[in-house]
């Protein structure tokens, strides 16, 4: 909290100098509360046993710590409501009330416009064992497609970039999710493998030079729900989101 207070004090001082010189203080990126709340409700409403979605901010100023970035809901009735970010610049919680939706105040970020990157990223929980059912992958893909449909229905892409330079997934109806991506560590030049053991035989996939296996889901296998076996623990499992 101390660092946030110091950052705010520095901004106020800079603003005072600018006003004394006859200039306007730096513009802050902003979007309406309803839009920010829609984004949060869509992202936070996912089934976290199948998919995890994250919202975060980073600054083009490398000297600025992510925890010094914060959002402010500029309400007329309750004053400024601060929404702090964690040490990674990630939004952990966002106030959701019907009263705020009716008022629809502005939500600002405490850094100058053009200096922030607003990022959306997602991943699927890593399997606990090296062997698991095929349905587990299909459930993660289905959850991702559901988030895309919800966000595309409520959020028009040109409108929410006011929070910063956008980078990420999920906010376009044109996105497709054909499968998943496993990312394995490259251990002593050995490439990881993935096997799908169906009633007709075993299909084997081998990681590329970057340690990745892109697996396109096969609808014909969903009813069979075969066993999937990986040779080692992956360091990441992601829905394969594409335009």
Q: Where are the domains of the chain?
A: 2-242
pLDDT of 165 > 90? The answer is: no
Considering only residues 3 and 133, tell me which one the structure prediction assigns the higher pLDDT: 133
Quickly state the pLDDT bin for 161 (edges 50, 70, 90).
low
pLDDT of 26 > 80? The answer is: no
Quickly state the pLDDT bin for 22 (edges 50, 70, 90).
very low
Please, are residues 196 and 206 in contact by the beta-carbon 8 Å criterion? Answer: no
Q: What is the pLDDT of residues 181-213, one digit of tens each?
A: 999 998 767 899 999 999 999 999 999 999 999
Partners of 81 in beta bridges: 73
Mean local confidence (pLDDT), 235-242: 94
Residues 6+ apart with CB under 8 A from 10: none
pLDDT at 169: 65
pLDDT of 12 > 50? The answer is: no
Quickly state the pLDDT bin for 8 (edges 50, 70, 90).
very low
Task: Report the distance separating Cα 115 and Cα 20, nearest Å.
Answer: 23
* pLDDT over 90, % of the chain: 59
pLDDT of 16 > 60? The answer is: no
Residue 208 in 3-state DSSP? coil
Tokens 């090296």 correspond to: 130
Q: What is the pLDDT of residues 41-95, one digit of tens each?
A: 988 899 999 999 998 888 999 899 988 999 999 999 999 999 999 999 999 999 9
Considering only residues 128 and 172, tell me which one the structure prediction assigns the higher pLDDT: 128
Answer positive or negative: Cα dihedral of 227, 231, 237, 239: negative
pLDDT at 171: 73
pLDDT at 119: 85
Please, are residues 72 and 110 in contact by the beta-carbon 8 Å criterion? Answer: yes
Please, are residues 68 and 145 in contact by the beta-carbon 8 Å criterion? Answer: no
The whole-chain average pLDDT of the chain stands at 84
Mean local confidence (pLDDT), 165-171: 69
Quickly state the pLDDT bin for 27 (edges 50, 70, 90).
low
pTM of the model: 0.80
pLDDT of 2 > 60? The answer is: no
pLDDT of 15 > 70? The answer is: no
């Amino acid at each position: 909290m101390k660092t946030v207070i110091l950052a705010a004090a520095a901004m106020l001082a800079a603003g005072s100098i600018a006003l004394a010189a006859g200039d306007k203080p730096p513009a802050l990126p902003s979007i309406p509360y309803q839009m920010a709340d829609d984004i949060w409700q869509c992202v936070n409403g996912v089934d976290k046993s199948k998919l995890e979605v994250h919202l975060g901010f980073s600054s083009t100023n490398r000297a600025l710590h992510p925890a010094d970035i914060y959002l402010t809901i500029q309400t007329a009735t309750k004053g400024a409501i601060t929404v702090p970010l964690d040490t990674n610049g990630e939004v952990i919680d966002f106030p959701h009330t019907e009263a705020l939706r009716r008022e629809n105040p502005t939500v600002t970020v405490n850094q100058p416009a053009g200096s922030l990157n607003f990022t959306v990223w997602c991943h699927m929980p890593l399997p606990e064992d090296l062997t698991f059912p095929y349905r587990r992958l299909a459930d993660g893909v289905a959850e991702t497609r559901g988030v895309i449909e919800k966000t595309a229905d409520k959020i028009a892409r040109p409108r929410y970039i006011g929070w910063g330079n956008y980078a990420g997934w999920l906010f376009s109806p044109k996105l497709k999710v054909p499968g998943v991506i496993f990312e394995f560590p490259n251990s002593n030049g050995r490439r990881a493998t993935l096997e799908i053991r169906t009633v007709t035989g075993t299909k084997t996939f081998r990681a590329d030079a970057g340690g990745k296996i892109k697996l396109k889901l096969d609808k014909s296998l969903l009813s069979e729900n075969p066993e999937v076996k990986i040779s080692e623990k992956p360091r990441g499992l992601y829905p394969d989101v594409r335009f």
